[in-house]
Structure 1
Amino acid sequence: MAVITAEPKAAAAEIPHRRVHHDAKWWFYAIGKAIAGIVFILAALLPLAWMVVAGFKSKTEVLQTPFQFFPEVWKWENYAQILADPTFVRTMAWTFGGAVLFTLLALTVNSLAAYAFARLDFRFKRTLWVLVITTMFIPGMTILLTSFIVVTRLSMLDTLAVLVIPGAASAGTIFFIRQFYLSIPASLEEAAMLDGCGRFQIFVRLFLPLSKPPFVVMGITAFLAYWNSYVWPILTITTPERYVVQQYLATFRSERATELGLLMAGSTLAAAPVVILFLIFQRQIIGNIKMAGLK
């Protein structure tokens, strides 16, 4: 009888030990996860923070050795001087207007194509869909020369149209929006047809109001693609008044290479709209990423 009662007591004595071991393992995992998160955040934000701080440095402090993160004297006039430059302000406004126009055109064209592939039945639908998807695997650089020849023959060089129209249609955007449209119940579309709505009315009144999640992600993607474009603009735009912001910064660096503090200030202001855009729509972006992960 003594042996029988001793085994439960021994097992009961091991339970606190196991619990302590489990708690220690959990704390070790939590601390490791926190450290990895901090390292990742610092690695992502350090270049941006350095660019912002470098905008307050003098000409010689930006690349001085030994490296010094903060300036000895904060030169606030760098930002004031770049903002007082009418060329920079005009370039920012021109680029922002073109990015908004490009985003609206991209969402319009790609959402219409996505609705057609998701909901309509027509001849050669599968063949056309395969052709559209295939373009996703063609690098943009491989068609750069042929695209330049096309826009040259269309007399689109050195215009806003050459920056907005050629890249508006995107197979990736069509695929993303199409997958979202496929998840919308067909009963909603059938009810709209019973009410006398045509295909275009169904798209405008039913699908567009429900398209905010994919439109936010794809809209920001299109905006960033236009804002950060460099290779295509330098091939097609030659008038300084029509330069996009990346062209302006590249020209500024080549012509005024010694004024690195001023260049960092301009780069910071050029990155500001992108950062602000992300801060405004960060909840929608994270929510859409979680939704895509669940699907």
Structure 2
Amino acid sequence: MTRILLIGAPIAVAVSVWFGGDGEPQRPKDDPSLRISRTAAAPDPLKAGTPEQQRELEERIDALPPGLADPAKKEIAARLVASAENSTLDWRSQYGVIEDIGDGNGYTAGIIGFCSGTNDMLQLVEHFTERHPGNPLARYLPALREVDGSDSHEGLGAPFEAAWAKAAQDPAFREAQDLMRDRIYFDPAVRLAKMDGLSTLGQFIYYDAMVLHGPGLGPQGFYGIREAAMAAADTAAEGGDEKAFLGAFLDAGRHVISRQKTEQTRDSSRIDTAQRVFLRQGNMDLQTPLEWRVYGETFRIDS
């Protein structure tokens, strides 16, 4: 994991496209107030557009085909991410996994790599504890708040690791992980990709980048990477070529990966020998069979 410190999960995202009456993405030529500003820093997605514009845009997005949110495609996405995060296609076996992989983010755990140093693990445990106060992880909330933003294990350690594994045996905690994965990463990424007029593959590329880099606004976060790509190519919703834009997005993400601290976090095979392969093949709907390589290991999904 190389994600930077989270700033919270942006559910309302930056307005960068408008949709016609038929629900098809169109370049917003007639209303420049809806266009995203091309500045060096990514805009705050929570402050773009009026509430009325946001509501209408959300309705338009809801009317679009499900894309990656289709259950079969979402399962493929989960397996693709698990191959990069945990070297397995069996993502459901990862709820109880917890370790420090030495990337500076403290503990990495669960189905999406919730990290003690990047706020998403804290969000998860707070959410779970609100609904299930007596859970094994509740006593560690003060420590999680203290270590948030660092790689420290202070107040956690082996007892916390055991508590995580015990909590993962509870279906309610597994459900909480699913919910927070969707709330922090999957839903914002897919909805923003639809706003940008992207295919199912493009939606997955956004989702994977959101998981890897976190929903940060800086140059190393997801929104900063998207802004760098938009400076290099128009999105499909702006009338650009989707493959060209996704190539620029992958270039921007790979640049961030190349500047990471360790050899492990600098590995860009999830881009080079997975996502670029699908893009070169023109597999914009993520049709199976899919075959790719991550960390030198070959994976395949037949159906």
**Higher RCO by CA contacts (8 Å cutoff, separation 6 or greater):** 1
Answer 1 or 2: which has greater helix percent.
1
Q: TM-score range by the shorter chain?
A: under 0.3
TM-score by length of 1: 0.25
Q: Which has the larger radius of gyration?
A: 1
